[in-house]
């Protein structure tokens, strides 16, 4: 690898590394809020015999697991390349996001299960103990905190282009709705004495959490399995072919490495083009793409025209 290329790569590594460390600070704030809210919910839920608030506390407790997996992912993705991962460790971030999505999916399933079991118990005439209004106030405090953090995480994720924080924002948003639903269910069960509202809310929220978890799973799985938008790939082909001297693009593949892109392409040049000229053209293509996209590196192969 040339000196210039090495320098460019290390610059890019530092830039993305700084973003990752800022994202990590935000994640530690998230972790702290999850710990405080879930402990308070579990404590008040136990004191007031509110199963719904305890379930919401458990849901926020799994948020701790999810944030921890994101912090681990970001820490690993910051590590420089080694003999085993020559390209660097960027994919660890996508892997951590995938695991967080999987956690949400499983929590959603458990909400469906708990709601279903309670509904069956109610149908069989078994009712729980009377609820206390204090549980409803705790749920609304949780809902407001989670909504606030969702907005902050969404804002910071755009600024740092961090997949981890985007996942956190969605996580907080679904937690906010869970807490809000829990508040409604507790209020309904406490003040209106409608017992089944509690379980119905749990089933609805379980479905919502599964839906959100699935979306996170599908975007991270697309990146991990080397999928890439065909529209952006076509735009890249157009940009390359517009360079004077560059022939037609006969093959192009783009994939993610973390949030960075790796481009593999083959271009057709006139058979008498000198090696120095074609090398210069490849560098020109790389620089052009780097101006428009977060390119980690390009790997371009040259093929003489009419070579069959
Ligand atoms: Zn490694």
Give distance in angstroms: CA of 81 to centre of ligand 1: 6
Give distance in angstroms: CA of 87 to centre of ligand 1: 9
Q: Which architecture does CATH list for 230-304?
A: 2-Layer Sandwich (3.30)
Question: What percentage of the chain has pLDDT greater than the value 90?
Answer: 34
Could you state, in order of their start, the residue ranges of all structural domains in the chain? 3-224, 230-304
Give distance in angstroms: CA of 257 to centre of ligand 1: 14
CATH number for the region 3-224 comes to 1.20.1510.10
Can you give the pLDDT at residue 64?
Answer: 83
pLDDT in tens, 134-154: 888 999 999 999 999 999 999
Give distance in angstroms: CA of 6 to centre of ligand 1: 18
pLDDT in tens, 162-205: 877 888 898 899 889 889 888 988 888 778 877 777 777 778 77
Give distance in angstroms: CA of 258 to centre of ligand 1: 14
Give distance in angstroms: CA of 12 to centre of ligand 1: 18
HEC string of the chain equals CCHHHHHHHHHHHHHHHHHHHHHHHHHHHHHHHHHHHHHHHHHHHHHCCCHHHHHHHHHHHHHHHHHHHHHHHHHHHCCCCCCCCCCCCCHHHHHHHHHHHHHHHHHHHHHHHHHHHHHHHHHCCCCCCCCCCHHHHHHHHHHHHHHHHHHHHHHHHHHHCCHHHHHHHHHHHHHHHHHHHHHHHHHHHHHHCCCHHHHHHHHHHHHHHHHHHHHHHHHHHHHHCCCCCHHHHHHHHHHHHCCCCCCCEEEEEEEEECCEEEEEEEEEECCCCCHHHHHHHHHHHHHHHHHHCCEEEEEEEEEECCCC
User: For residue 114, is pLDDT > 70?
Assistant: yes
Give distance in angstroms: CA of 82 to centre of ligand 1: 5
Give distance in angstroms: CA of 295 to centre of ligand 1: 20
pTM for the full predicted model? 0.73
């Amino acid at each position: 690898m040339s000196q210039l290329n090495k320098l460019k790569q290390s610059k890019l590594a530092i830039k993305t590394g700084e973003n990752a460390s800022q994202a990590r600070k935000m994640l530690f704030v998230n972790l702290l809020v999850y710990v405080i809210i879930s402990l308070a919910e579990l404590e008040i839920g136990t004191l007031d015999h509110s199963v719904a608030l305890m379930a919401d506390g458990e849901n926020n407790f799994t948020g701790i697991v999810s944030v921890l997996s994101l912090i681990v992912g970001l820490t690993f993705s910051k590590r420089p390349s080694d003999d085993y991962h020559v390209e660097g460790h960027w994919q660890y971030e996508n892997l951590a996001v995938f695991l967080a999505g999987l956690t949400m999916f499983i929590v959603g399933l458990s909400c469906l299960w708990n709601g279903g079991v309670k509904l069956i118990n109610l149908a069989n005439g078994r009712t729980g103990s009377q609820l206390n209004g204090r549980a409803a106030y705790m749920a609304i405090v949780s809902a407001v905190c989670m909504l606030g953090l969702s907005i902050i995480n969404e804002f910071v994720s755009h600024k740092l282009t961090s997949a981890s924080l985007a996942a956190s924002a969605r996580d907080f948003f679904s937690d906010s709705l869970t807490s809000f639903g829990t508040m409604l269910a507790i209020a309904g069960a406490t003040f209106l004495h409608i017992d089944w509202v509690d379980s119905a809310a749990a089933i609805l929220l379980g479905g919502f959490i599964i839906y959100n978890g699935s979306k996170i799973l599908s975007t991270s799985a697309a990146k991990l399995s080397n999928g890439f938008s065909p529209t952006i790939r076509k735009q890249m082909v157009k940009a390359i072919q517009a360079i004077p001297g560059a022939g037609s693009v006969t093959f192009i593949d783009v994939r993610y490495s973390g949030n960075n892109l790796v481009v593999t392409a083959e271009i057709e040049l006139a058979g008498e083009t000198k090696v120095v000229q074609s090398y210069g053209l490849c560098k020109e293509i790389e620089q052009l793409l780097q101006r428009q996209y977060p390119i980690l590196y390009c790997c371009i192969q040259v093929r003489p025209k009419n070579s069959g």
